[in-house]
Amino acid sequence: MKPTVLILCTGNSCRSHMAEGILRAAAGDLVEVRSAGSKPAGYVHPKAIEALAEIGIDISAHTSKHMNDFLDQRVDTVITVCGNADQACPMFPGQLNRHHWGFADPAHATGSEEEIRAEFRRVRDEIRLVFEAYAAGLREGRVASGG
């Protein structure tokens, strides 16, 4: 059984879904990747879906979930991508690791449609750098441990 990585944000509408999609694409053969929120928005932001589609990752079937939905499941690693979720995050059964990598919330971007899209792309690219590096570390650890 693959270890589970749970990515948390407050609304589970933008950053956590982008991170989930990117990590699943980069390391899905090594880990199960899920996302949730401390106060789920109830939807995945259309511009987050669009920003990931631009890099070939489809998150259009994702749904917004509450972090408490995972309290009865084994979660090996919790990664928070916003400060509010980091503060609200409970301990999960089996949790071995916890990381906090904060990113700006592109849902709060203002300006023209193109300026807002640019902010989603900027945050997507930051998330991609961090989570692809994390996936590379998982791969190296797997190789080092003989797995």
- By annotation, the residues acting in catalysis are 9, 82, 89
- Which residues on neighbouring strands pair with residue 36, listed in sequence order? 8
CA proximity to 132, closest of 30, 22, 54, 29: 22
Tokens of 4: 């589970």
CA proximity to 121, closest of 129, 20, 83, 64: 129
In angstroms, the Cα distances linking 96 to 2, 92, 124 are 14, 9, 27
